[in-house]
Structure 1
Amino acid sequence: MINWFEIPVANMERAKTFYEIVFDLKITVHKMGDLEMGWFPNKSASGMATGTLIHAGDHYKPSMDGVLIYFSCEDVANEIGRVVEAGGQVIAEKKQISESNGYMAYFIDSEGNRIALHSMQ
């Protein structure tokens, strides 16, 4: 049911670098009027949601108190292991949810957003 997500950032270049390191991918930055958006690679052809980092002044503010986004990973240990070197803070290391629901971990990104990871292994 998820179609799109937006992660607020205070500094696009810092956030772009952070997410590129943690997820080992490339984010493309686009200016759209007053908005600056850092697009994650498009996975919609495979049925997966995609989204953006977004810098839009006072309209979007990073927060660790709002909605929690879970990024799907092959193994949570890979991404959570790169969070600190990328400038973030690990809140919860990889832990098993249950045998049938896999694993999760949480971190604070370079901008102050609380983000989660999920994998089956």
Structure 2
Amino acid sequence: MNQNIATWFELPATDLGRAQQFYRSVLNASFKQEDMSGMQLAIFEAEDGAVSGMLVQGEHYQPSATGAVVYFSGGEDLSQPLAEVESAGGKVLMPKTPIHDGECGYFALLLDSEGNRVGLYSPA
């Protein structure tokens, strides 16, 4: 049985609308809105069976630049989504960086519009 080790993620947001706009701009993401137990949720739309997650605004959720890092697909070349980060309200912390001289692809680190440190990965 082939399973992803990661099955779900939650990224805290202090302004859910701003956070959604950031991920729409950088990743071309779309969301499904929900409220649950006093929390506002914006669930990343994904294909059935794909690992996904949500943006969440609630009492116990605080953005962090020092916690765990979630990596998003940067498509074929993460230079394209990286070019959108600052105009979408984020900050590039580490530019496109080769992994093992590019043999294993590339990664970058950024702060999203809420102050969460997240990563991007691409094969080129």
| Cα distance, 1:55 vs structure 2 | 0.6
DSSP 3-state at the match of 1:15: helix
| Cα deviations by residue, 1:22-42 (Å, 9 ceiling, x for unpaired) | 101212221113011111112
**What are the within-5 Å matches in structure 2 for residues 41-60 of structure 1?**
41-45=45-49, 48-57=50-59, 59-60=60-61
Greater displacement, 74-83 / 111-120: 74-83
Match 2:119 to one of 111, 116, 121: 116
Question: What count of residue pairs does the alignment treat as equivalent?
Answer: 118
Match 1:20 to one of 19, 24, 30: 24
Question: 2:11 matched to 1:10?
Answer: no
Alignment match, 1:71? 72
User: Normalising by the residue count of structure 2, what TM-score does the alignment of the two structures yield?
Assistant: 0.89
Greater displacement, 22-31 / 104-113: 22-31
**Which segments of 5 or more consecutive residues in structure 1 lack a partner in the other structure?**
none
**Which segments of 5 or more consecutive residues in structure 2 lack a partner in the other structure?**
none
User: Normalising by the residue count of structure 1, what TM-score does the alignment of the two structures yield?
Assistant: 0.91
Opposite residue 69 of structure 1, the aligned amino acid is V
8 Å contact 1:44–1:50 — kept in the other structure? no
Match 1:34 to one of 35, 38, 50: 38
| Cα distance, 1:13 vs structure 2 | 0.6
Identity %: 34
| Cα distance, 1:101 vs structure 2 | 1.3
Hey, what's the Cα distance between the residues in 2 that align with 1:93 and 1:43? 29
| Cα deviations by residue, 1:65-99 (Å, 9 ceiling, x for unpaired) | 10011112222111111100100011111111123
Hey, what's the Cα distance between the residues in 2 that align with 1:18 and 1:53? 11
